[in-house]
Structure 1
Amino acid sequence: MSSSIAYLLRTPSPIGRIELTSDGEAVTSLAIARGGVLPNDEHPETSTAVLDDAAAQLAEYFSGERRSFDIPVHLQGTPFRTAVWERLASLEYGSLTTYGELGLSLGHPGYGRAIGGAVGANPVPIIIGCHRVLSSSGKITGYSGGDGIPTKLWLLEHEGITLAA
């Protein structure tokens, strides 16, 4: 566990165990188990109020009772990545965009690959809905959380969006 992670909480979900980290003031990361494994499985849990709140809001999201999150997050990344994540945060439940549209909205047309890299590096998936981004053809080209495309498809279907992989 990184020395910058002060608090850690794991919570069950329909897409696998979720690991949340916090600096004590905000959520700093969210990881979805891949093959049943989380990044900090070897470290003990030490929760805090913001993580308890995040876990409760995630449970509400998965049960269909919540469509947006009211959790403070600290996003650490380059100015470009942070701008992408902030734009992702404005995507509403059940809505979609493409990497190209995301680039255009940020004033970076033609930056599809860089946009894709930033989307894939989102430190708090689900809370910031990076699963809502598709290729310009409308296809699901990948997902870095959980078990990849099946996890992304589950999240989209949970939000009422049905697509073919």
Structure 2
Amino acid sequence: MRSTMNVNTAKRHAVVESPYGPLTLVATDGVLSGLYMTGQRHRPADESFGERVAAEEAPFPEVVRQLAAYFAGELTAFDLPLRLEGTDFQRSVWDQLVRIPYGDTWSYGELAARLGKPNASRAVGLANGKNPVGIIVPCHRVIGASGGMTGYGGGVDRKVRLLAFEAGDRD
């Protein structure tokens, strides 16, 4: 994951179809800053996404290309510049999420331990739920300590489907 920051905040967005429903892609100053699903918890108001543009307009073509390759089972890791806005702790959690291998899962406790904060499972869960770039920053790969499908901002049903897809279930 390549992360960039800038003080200017010009936003624009595009909506693309996916096997998991429409995805709203948001760019801030030409860098992907959001990927939101329909009905997603912690989804900002649509008015905050800026002007709607075609998915063929920059910077969205490369995002769309990589998402299509992912959904075709041809891409297991994204390589896109991202602008992730959050607290230092949230960004540290999101930085760890991209380290979870495709098709694998980590528990909230394991993620907290990797951050050097073994008692921070709950805080990790809260930061995970506020991930602004779902799928690309794979928060769906975090599960409960018992292996259970705990919450997912895009809905537990989507989480189950994404994990099954990454495990090889292409139906």
Q: Tell me which residue corresponds to 1:45.
A: 52
Which of 71, 79, 88 is the aligned partner of 1:79? 88
Following superposition, the deviation at residue 50 of structure 1 comes to 2.2
Q: Deviations over 1:33-66 (max 9, x none)?
A: 129x995289752254221211121111111111
Which of 109, 125, 141 is the aligned partner of 1:132? 141
Root mean square deviation, CA, Å: 2.3
- Percentage identity across paired residues of the two chains: 36
Which of 99, 103, 121 is the aligned partner of 1:94? 103
- Letter of the 1:69 counterpart: F
The count of corresponding residues between Structure 1 and Structure 2 is: 157
**Which structure 2 segments of 5+ residues have no match?**
1-7
Contact 1:50/1:71 (8 A) holds in 2: no
The answer to whether the aligner puts 1:56 opposite 2:65 as a matched pair is yes
The answer to whether the aligner puts 1:12 opposite 2:17 as a matched pair is yes
- Letter of the 2:144 counterpart: S
**Which structure 1 segments of 5+ residues have no match?**
none
Extract structure 1 runs of 4+ deviating beyond 6 A: none
Partners of 1:156 and 1:61 in 2: CA distance: 13
- Letter of the 1:40 counterpart: D
SS at 1:141's partner residue? coil
Contact 2:11/2:51 (8 A) holds in 1: no
Contact 1:8/1:19 (8 A) holds in 2: yes
Following superposition, the deviation at residue 105 of structure 1 comes to 0.5
Q: Tell me which residue corresponds to 1:27.
A: 32
Which is strand-richer, 1 or 2?
2
Output the TM-score relative to the length of structure 2. 0.84
Output the TM-score relative to the length of structure 1. 0.86
- Letter of the 2:46 counterpart: N
- Letter of the 1:27 counterpart: L
